[in-house]
């Protein structure tokens, strides 16, 4: 299958070369081959449209050199789950042949570096291979499926069969506006709850609504809930910017009914908005939605 993928990519390039020749030659087919030239031109137009929609120029990069990719950990399928972080992110900073890797947002804090090989498969999929410096020196295959140039979904499979997966964001080390702030002290965030996955009975936790959280410079925060099953809360927080457009927040949340931690990943689309993913209570509830960040008055 892998060889077929590489051959498929080469074949596409040959087709493009062929189309270029045919279209260039169509000027000499007037009167004797207009129908043929028109047919070939329509194929070229369709191919151009396909590349504009799915192609490398709009989504999948040919190289990871000079890029930072943040992997949000959403799925862990392992024989010994404690060997891997279950929440937070894996930050991967790429040079030409080396990748520096570290985890943020989990009790299992790991850091290392190693060599990698990266190749593009098909229109919007790329594969990275190497040996993991932080997960037992295992060989791995990391697949990136680009939904846009800014990110998509990822899955990393190790040679022992264990796998991790989730969503990712990508940014260049340069030429990227740093949307994520260095700190949220003095700011508030409105979290719109779009999804909530839990084994708890329906109605015992928020499934929709809005939560407004305000952050203080002393590391404390307060939160107000609006909607069914939301609660007011307070606690302590730690905010870490991990890339130009991604940050991780770790909180110990207190209410009148419980005290539980959560880890939240902010993915900024602008300096004031984006999407959030929260692992609440070590997987008790998985929240997701959109947010708006603003200065606290």
What confidence tens digit (pLDDT) does each residue in 192-239 have?
Answer: 999 999 999 999 999 999 999 999 999 999 999 999 999 999 999 999
Same domain, 223 and 145: no
Residue 56 lies in a domain: no
93 inside domain = yes
Q: Phi/psi at 176 (nearest 5 deg)?
A: -125, 125
18: phi then psi, degrees, rounded to nearest 5: -65, -45
In tens, the pLDDT along 101-120 reads 999 999 999 999 999 999 99
Residue 99 confidence (pLDDT): 98
41 and 78 in a single domain? The answer is no
Task: Give the least confident one: 1-15, 63-77, 83-97, 106-120.
Answer: 1-15
201 and 291 co-located in one domain = yes
Among 172, 196, 216, the domain boundary falls at 172
18-47 average pLDDT score: 36
Do 191 and 168 share a domain, yes or no?
A: no
Do the domain assignments include residue 265? yes
More confident residue, 149 or 224: 224
CB-based contacts of 265-270 (< 8 A; 24+ apart in sequence): 265/70, 265/72, 265/88, 265/89, 265/105, 266/180, 266/291, 267/70, 267/72, 267/151, 267/167, 267/169, 268/179, 268/180, 269/150, 269/179, 269/245, 270/179
Residue 245 sits in the same domain as residue 161: no
How much is the pTM?
0.80
Between residues 95 and 44, the one the model is more confident about: 95
State the CATH number of the domain containing residue 87: 2.40.128
Same domain, 147 and 191: no
Same domain, 41 and 102: no
- Kindly state whether residue 221 falls inside one of the protein's structural domains: yes
Q: Identify the pLDDT of residue 123.
A: 77
Examine the pLDDT at 283 and tell me if it is beyond 60.
yes
For residue 177, tell me if it sits in a domain.
Answer: no
> What is the rounded average pLDDT of the residues 110-135?
94
- Count up the domains in the chain and report the number: 3
Q: Are residues 119 and 77 part of one domain?
A: yes
62 pLDDT tier (thresholds 50, 70, 90)? very high
Separation CA 68–CA 210 (nearest Å): 31
- 234 and 137 in one domain? no
Summarised one tens digit per residue, pLDDT across range 246-271 is 999 999 999 999 999 999 999 999 99
Residues 153 and 226 in one domain: no
Q: What are the b/e assignments for 152-161, b being 16+ CB within 10 Å? A: bbbbbbbeee
Closest CA to 235 of 218, 249, 225, 221: 221
- Is the separation of the CB atoms in 223 and 212 below 8 Å? yes
DSSP, collapsed to helix, strand or coil, labels residue 58 as coil
Question: Which residue has tokens 């151009």?
Answer: 48
Residue 60 lies in a domain: no
Please give the full DSSP string across 108-161, using - where no structure is assigned. S--EEEEEEEEEEETTTEEEEEEE-TTTTT-EEEEEEEEEETTEEEEEEEETTS
- What is the C-alpha separation between 287 and 143, in angstroms, rounded? 25
> Does 75 fall in a domain?
yes
Task: Check pLDDT > 50 for residue 144.
Answer: yes
List the domain range (segments joined by +) for residue 17: 2-50
**Does any domain span residue 148?**
yes
Please name which of 119, 76, 120, 111 lies closest in space to residue 92, comparing C-alpha atoms.
111
Q: Are 67 and 171 in contact (CB under 8 A)?
A: yes
| 205/282 same-domain check | yes
Distance CA 297, CA 281 (A): 30
Please give the C-alpha separations between residue 198 and each of 25, 251, 256, in angstroms, as whole numbers: 62, 19, 21
């Amino acid at each position: 299958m892998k060889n077929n993928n590489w051959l498929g990519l080469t074949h596409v390039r040959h087709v493009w070369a062929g189309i270029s020749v045919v279209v260039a030659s169509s000027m000499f087919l007037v009167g004797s081959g207009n129908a043929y030239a028109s047919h070939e031109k329509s194929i070229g137009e369709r191919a151009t449209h396909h590349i504009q929609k799915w192609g490398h120029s709009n989504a999948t990069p040919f190289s990871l050199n000079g890029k930072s990719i943040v992997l949000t950990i959403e799925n862990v399928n392992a024989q010994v789950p404690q060997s891997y972080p279950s929440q937070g992110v894996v930050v991967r900073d790429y040079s030409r042949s080396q990748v520096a890797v570290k985890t943020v947002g989990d009790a299992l804090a790991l850091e290392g570096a190693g060599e990698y090989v990266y190749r593009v498969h098909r229109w919007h999929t790329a594969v990275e291979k190497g040996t993991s410096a932080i997960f037992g020196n295992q060989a791995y295959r990391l697949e990136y499926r680009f939904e846009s140039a800014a990110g998509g979904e990822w899955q990393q499979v190790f040679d022992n069969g264990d796998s991790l997966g989730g969503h990712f964001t990508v940014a260049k080390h340069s030429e990227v506006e740093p949307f994520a702030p260095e700190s949220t002290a003095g700011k508030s965030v409105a979290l719109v709850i779009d999804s909530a996955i839990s084994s708890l009975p329906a109605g015992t936790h928020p499934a929709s609504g809005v939560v407004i959280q305000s952050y203080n410079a002393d590391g404390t925060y307060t939160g107000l809930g609006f909607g069914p099953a939301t609660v007011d809360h307070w606690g302590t927080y730690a905010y870490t910017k991990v890339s130009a457009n991604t940050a991780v927040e770790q909180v110990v949340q207190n209410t009148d009914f419980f005290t539980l931690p959560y880890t939240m990943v902010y993915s900024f689309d602008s300096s004031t908005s984006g999407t959030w993913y929260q692992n609440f209570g070590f997987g008790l509830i998985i929240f997701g939605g959109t947010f708006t960040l603003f200065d606290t008055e």
